[in-house]
């Protein structure tokens, strides 16, 4: 477990909503030098040149779970820039999202489901992110554009499920979010709402009572899909946020990405799956890395990935074993890797 360093300016959240999540976001680390200084790690592990297009962003709540002095810490490696990012391989749009855009910021890759890029902002910048080069500036940003989405959703009765994504959809404030979600929830053919978010993990106070009341108020089934790659990301504040989501009646799932040097071993994956299953969070997907430019060094060969998941399957109940998948451009669903 990470040790909490003395001198942190923000308290670790151990109880209910002690902090304003926006203040946490403002206080996040935005410089690898500051981050490394704080952790007592040689700043040479970082590559500032790789940060010009994709800056460092790491909230203090997340950084406090890192192990001081460890340059190979699995949480640090997710956020610190590396010279390997400058290697010119991988794709800008690795899973073919731009051709799937039906309207500015509204993507439809699969039947009956649409994905909305509700915001280009995240609370953390994951160096392996498949959308690290996504043209967020061109995505919809405000009520006027959201109205256009609503019009499209109302007119297409084949759409059963709306996925709120980003960036991170919870980077939108509760007022604007409530307005929009309520509008979507009033569309009678929408049966399920889904949030893809990392904010409850990296800044747990984002799961505010306003947000949980909103979730409780909608008629549709609500799924919250978290993104946690390593058990060290979990602490009491995260569990408290997950409890709030559960109490609001949502189904909470997790998707992880298989990442070289971070969770590419049986012990790390087992611990993550077990901790999630203990708290009724289903480990839904383990994704093979999308071949994104700047993130290729995180990749793990399929043969290794298959062995790891086979070992989990032999050791854990079926519901605690994630499906190993890859997203392939133009396919009608995620592709299961056997």
User: Residues interacting with ligand SF4, by CB under 6 A?
Assistant: 122, 124-126, 129, 131, 166-168, 198, 227
Min. distance of Cβ 333 from ligand SF4 in angstroms?
20
Provide the minimum distance between the beta carbon of 191 and ligand SF4 in the complex, in angstroms, as a whole number: 25
CB of 134 to ligand SF4, least distance (A): 8
194 vs 198, beta carbon nearer ligand SF4: 198
Q: Which lies closer to ligand SF4 via its Cβ, residue 62 or residue 146?
A: 62
Preceding omega of 167 cis (within 30 degrees of 0): yes
Residue 247 parent element (H or E): helix 236-247
CB of 304 to ligand SF4, least distance (A): 22
Please write down the long-range contacts of 275-282, taking CB distance under 8 Å and 24 or more positions apart: 275/231, 275/234, 276/228, 276/320, 277/316, 277/317, 277/319, 277/320, 279/239, 279/242, 280/246, 280/252, 281/226, 281/242, 281/252, 281/253, 281/254, 282/251, 282/252, 282/253, 282/254, 282/319, 282/320
**Secondary structure (3-state) at 263:** coil
| Min dist. Cβ of residue 179 to ligand SF4 (A) | 23
Residue 184 Cβ, how far from ligand SF4 at the closest point, in Å? 20
Going across the sheet that includes 113-117, the strands are 101-103, 106-110, 113-117, 161-165, 192-196, 221-227, 251-257, 282-287, 323-326, 335-336
Nearer to ligand SF4, 190 or 256 (CB): 256
Q: Which is nearer to ligand SF4, 153 or 228 (CB)?
A: 228
> Between 115 and 122, whose beta carbon lies closer to ligand SF4?
122
Closer to ligand SF4 by CB, 125 or 293: give it. Answer: 125
């Amino acid at each position: 477990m990470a040790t909490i360093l003395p001198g942190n300016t923000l308290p670790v959240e151990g109880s209910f909503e002690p902090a304003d999540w926006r203040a946490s976001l403002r206080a996040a680390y935005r410089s690898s030098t500051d981050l490394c200084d704080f952790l007592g790690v040689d700043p040479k592990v970082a590559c500032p040149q790789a940060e010009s297009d994709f800056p460092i962003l790491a909230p203090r709540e997340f950084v406090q779970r890192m192990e001081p002095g460890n340059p190979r810490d699995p949480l640090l490696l997710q956020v610190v820039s590396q010279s390997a990012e400058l290697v010119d391989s991988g794709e800008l749009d690795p899973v073919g999202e731009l051709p799937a855009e039906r309207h500015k910021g509204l993507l439809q890759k699969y039947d009956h489901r649409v994905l909305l890029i509700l915001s280009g902002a995240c609370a953390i910048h994951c160096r392996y992110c498949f959308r690290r080069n996504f043209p967020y500036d061109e995505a919809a940003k405000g009520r006027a554009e959201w109205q256009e989405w609503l019009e499209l959703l109302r007119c297409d009765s084949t759409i059963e499920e709306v996925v709120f994504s980003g960036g991170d959809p919870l980077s939108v404030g509760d007022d604007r979010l409530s307005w929009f979600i309520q509008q979507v929830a009033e569309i009678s053919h929408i049966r399920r709402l889904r949030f893809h978010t990392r904010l409850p993990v990296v800044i747990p106070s984002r799961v505010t009572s306003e947000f949980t009341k909103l979730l409780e108020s909608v008629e549709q089934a609500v799924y919250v899909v978290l993104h946690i790659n390593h058990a060290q990301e979990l602490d009491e504040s995260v569990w408290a946020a997950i409890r709030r989501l559960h109490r609001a009646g949502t189904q909470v799932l997790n998707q992880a990405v298989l990442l070289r040097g971070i969770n590419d071993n049986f012990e790390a994956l087992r611990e993550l799956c077990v901790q999630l299953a203990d708290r009724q969070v289903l480990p839904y997907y383990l994704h093979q890395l999308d071949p994104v430019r700047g993130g290729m060094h995180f990749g793990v060969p399929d043969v290794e990935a298959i062995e790891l998941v086979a070992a989990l399957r032999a050791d854990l109940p079926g519901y605690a074993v994630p499906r190993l998948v890859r997203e392939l451009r133009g396919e009608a669903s995620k592709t299961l890797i056997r």
